[in-house]
Structure 1
């Protein structure tokens, strides 16, 4: 398995595994805890949109600091900052100042972490093994995600939110330790053409962000309500999905690396569309909702490696990986915020949750078209950074 020979990527995946342990624990309960704390469903989605909008405006500062210090310190700092939001989450009680503080801190931490992490992973990974490496990363995340939601659900019920989310914050902080042994990656002071090269990736991640609004955020609310607002049942459903994800995690990376990217796009978009329809029909039916949630493992196996292989390879081929991800993550924020606000507007107007879930089909359709364009150009020998889509 040549893709495991990159020691730096192995350390990055170890970091990501511990990070995913926290996110599949406390992070999975972020939206539903707000709902249980008295924030209405449309208010939860509006809060998530506010976090994404904040990230959009903070993101240019990542480039300024990256040029001065390199990528590694930013990933470590972002990891620590993301941990700070969870003690604040425990203090939310309806709409008020704690919720506003949570949105501000979440915007800051998520901006620094995800922008620098994606640029770092793209810089240090191997293009010829990218699908394998992303698939291995997602399989690790699924594997560690089996116990985390069960433990967090139990802790919320028996020990309270301060202990449960405090443990999440500690795990996030500890996930920075493997990064101490990875190299720094310097950022060029100037990179002509970087924004032009990033434009296809911006569009891909904008479509992905819109898709995530219904597939992830609205769905978590729908699943929680379908399970009678039980933290324990919600954690069990997440654990079952993680088991399915661990089984399928490495399935598609090898397929992409073997040169089957165009066929992978059909599988990726098809499984995402099917999962969205399944989740929409499963709302309100506990057993069906649990199965629909577990079926998301196929999305992790097919959709995520297909999307992120394209994005990471374009980033590595661009004049500057950090500038590329500043732009593309901004695209994800814009798409995700727009999707959350559209879903919030539907719910505020009295529409059912299943309608808000199905909004994500628009993003899936756009992602399919963009990924087909990318992998088609790749198969034809066109450069990694194609002409921007108009």
Structure 2
């Protein structure tokens, strides 16, 4: 019962917090340097993701799991306090869900880009660790290697952000989508610890630069046409991607059962953002 309650409140927190975070970013950031700013934010986020689990592990050894939950709550409150200092940043216009639904219908290319990215990300967070645990029994050594790859990718992400600010998102989205798709193909072909580490490094870079590019696109659209509508459009499409992943994998496990063969799914949907690239090329020729 408590786990269900925790899941519900955790989902409510994510929906409210990240919607507000992105809105504040749009209203406070420099539109000319959104790419670089997002890259810097990703670097800080990745650094924390690598270092904090070490602290959490020490706390578990000393006092059990409960202090970790308390510390997590403290960090959440601290971030809310820091973001809420400037009360002048407010949403000026209401947005209706019907308007967001219409955006999803009238902008299928961007909707699919977000849905595909979310599908792949949730697959990575949910299915990939289960597969590793079944295969190796433990993922600590793998995690340490991947952590280093994540940090290097985050450093490069700052440079990629600067490039996007100068040259645009199209080339970066294309490269990132191909790399992310290739990483799942590598997992299917190499099928070894070393192959998985290599695939993880490729995925880290490809996924990071794709997400960075799409996030900057959202922020730019938010500046042009109202922050609430653009951000809620993105968040709704991301939720749809996660729901589709869970439904798809539930059916996959029932009818097929082989998690490794399911890697073909994220390999395909990782290419969905290419629709944005093709559309922008077509629009440029008009």
Q: TM-score, normalised by structure 1?
A: 0.63
In structure 1, the residue matched to 2:244 is: 338
In structure 2, the residue matched to 1:99 is: 3
In structure 1, the residue matched to 2:266 is: 360
Shift of 1:269: 0.8
Per-residue CA deviation, residues 246-279 of structure 1 (Å, 9 max, x unaligned), is 4322131122112243222221111211222234
In the alignment, the residues of structure 2 paired with residue 234 and residue 164 of structure 1 have an alpha-carbon distance, to the nearest angstrom, of 23
Where structure 1 has 5 or more consecutive residues not aligned to the other structure, the ranges are: 1-96, 383-390
Equivalent pair of 2:21/2:83 in contact (CA under 8 Å): no
RMSD: 3.0
The change in CA–CA distance for 1:136 and 1:282 in structure 2 (over 3 A counts) is farther
Matched, 1:214 2:120: no
In the alignment, the residues of structure 1 paired with residue 14 and residue 138 of structure 2 have an alpha-carbon distance, to the nearest angstrom, of 27
**Paired residue for 1:164, among 68, 75, 82?**
68
Shift of 1:332: 0.8
The change in CA–CA distance for 1:374 and 1:225 in structure 2 (over 3 A counts) is farther
Per-residue CA deviation, residues 177-197 of structure 1 (Å, 9 max, x unaligned), is 322433532223456996456
In structure 1, the residue matched to 2:211 is: 304
Shift of 1:287: 4.2
Point out which structure has higher relative CO (alpha carbons under 8 A, 6+ apart): 2
SS in 2 for 1:296: helix
Within 5 A, what are the aligned runs for 1:69-218? Answer: 97-156=1-60, 159-190=63-94, 195=100, 200=107, 201-218=110-127
In structure 1, the residue matched to 2:181 is: 273
Within 5 A, what are the aligned runs for 1:287-298? Answer: 287-298=194-205
The change in CA–CA distance for 1:372 and 1:216 in structure 2 (over 3 A counts) is farther
Equivalent pair of 2:119/2:244 in contact (CA under 8 Å): yes
In the alignment, the residues of structure 1 paired with residue 239 and residue 184 of structure 2 have an alpha-carbon distance, to the nearest angstrom, of 20
Once structures 1 and 2 are overlaid, which stretch shifts more, 184-193 or 338-347?
Answer: 184-193
Matched, 1:257 2:165: yes
The change in CA–CA distance for 1:154 and 1:236 in structure 2 (over 3 A counts) is farther
In structure 2, the residue matched to 1:326 is: 232
Per-residue CA deviation, residues 280-328 of structure 1 (Å, 9 max, x unaligned), is 4566x4444344334433125421221111121112211x211322232
Q: TM-score, normalised by structure 2?
A: 0.83
In structure 1, the residue matched to 2:144 is: 236
